[in-house]
Amino acid sequence: MCNFAPRNRIGMKRSTFLYHVLAFVVVAIWGVTFISTKVLLAHGLHPTPIFAIRFAIAYAGMILFCLIHRTRLFAHSWADEAVFLLLGVVGGSAYFLTENTALRYTQACNVSFIVCSTPLITTLLTIAYKRLFHGFLSEGLEDVRVTPSLVIGTIVTFVGMGLVIFSESQFHFSIRGDLLSVGAAITWALYSILMGQMTMRYGTLLATRKVFFYGLLTIAPLLIWGEGSVQHIDPQIFLDREVIFNLLFLSVIASLVCFVCWNVVMARIGNVTSTNYVYLNPFFTLVAGVLLLGERMTFLSAIGSVAIVAGVVLAGRRI
């Protein structure tokens, strides 16, 4: 018996290693999406159609796959359908609308660093959720304890967010955009908590397809009557190669492929552990923003950004 335990632990480490690598790759791609979205906004596209086109193309790919493999279309109960509807909002329409709108008012690196607080918010909400709900309602969630590192990390992170949000800058930092970024972080944290359970019950593909469907459904009213409605879109914009390239990158790679991969990662290594990889996101955004958009950071924002990352890493420690 004693001889088999170490091998089992090594086997478990090896079995999850590839999922950690996959999480790293997905986060790197998502870090670049901030830049890609910023480019589309610069070309005159509104956040609403950017999200709708991105999810519609990805959803079409999922439907095709489901038709070929004849997977089920509906959940087992209306209660589960309601959960998928909520996931479509927090992981789809609400998240991307707040994030994309934030990019209209502040720099891509600003949005990315604030959204970087998602792992900490996920941890705090997971602790609260597991204390409120038990049994099947909390299945699939990691056990997280309140530790000194979590408390200190939380304080450091929120101080850093304050520095980023309220720093004065000649580079047009916007409190409005920064607060929208906080909203995006909160919605993604809610998605991370709920999605793991639904993936365990229905599998990655069906759960992801449901999220995309309800994300599109809940954004439809804004697409018809909102500021970024269809009638306000200039069709000529879709003749631009840069626009087409970025839309395909966001929809096929960052949405269809990465969402499926991310849901697999959350199911394999846990909702909190996987979300901790998000703190790497800003570095990819920062590098891409400097190289492609010429973005810069103020001194206070730089300190705040470092504090956010340090706080999230500290809070994610298990001691």
Give one DSSP letter per residue of 114-173, joined into a string: HHTTHHHHHHHHHHHHHHH--GGGGTTPPP----HHHHHHHHHHHHHHHHHHH---TT--
Residue 7 confidence (pLDDT) above 80: no
CA 254, 258, 260, 263 torsion: positive or negative? negative
pLDDT band at 3 (very low <50, low <70, confident <90, very high): very low
pLDDT band at 245 (very low <50, low <70, confident <90, very high): very high
What's the rounded mean pLDDT across residues 261-288? 77
- Name the DSSP class of 53: H
What's the rounded mean pLDDT across residues 48-71? 84
Of 186, 178, 188, residue with least CA distance to 105: 178
Cβ atoms 268, 140 nearer than 8 A = no
Residue 170 confidence (pLDDT):
41
**CA 173 to each of CA 39, 164, 167: distance values in angstroms, whole numbers, following the listed order:** 18, 9, 8
Which residue has better confidence, 268 or 196?
Answer: 268
Residue 171 confidence (pLDDT) above 50: no
pLDDT digits (tens, 9 = 90+) for 61-110: 888 877 776 777 778 888 889 999 999 999 999 998 998 898 888 877 77
3-state class of 43 per DSSP? coil
Count of alpha carbons within 13 Å of 153, Cβ hemisphere only?
A: 25
Residue 178 confidence (pLDDT) above 60: yes
pLDDT band at 138 (very low <50, low <70, confident <90, very high): low
Residue 68 confidence (pLDDT):
74
pLDDT digits (tens, 9 = 90+) for 286-304: 777 777 777 676 777 778 7
Place of tokens 């200039």: 234
Residue 4 confidence (pLDDT) above 60: no
Within 10 angstroms of residue 220's Cβ, the number of other Cβ atoms is 14
Residue 85 confidence (pLDDT):
94
Residue 140 confidence (pLDDT):
61
Count of alpha carbons within 13 Å of 212, Cβ hemisphere only?
A: 28
Computed over every residue of the chain, the mean pLDDT equals 80
What's the rounded mean pLDDT across residues 45-68? 86
What's the rounded mean pLDDT across residues 158-174? 63
Cα angle value 213/215/217 (rounded, 5°): 70
Listed ranges 14-18, 131-135, 208-212, 230-234; the one with the highest mean pLDDT: 208-212
pLDDT band at 186 (very low <50, low <70, confident <90, very high): very high
Here the tokens at position 36 are 């890609």
pLDDT band at 135 (very low <50, low <70, confident <90, very high): low
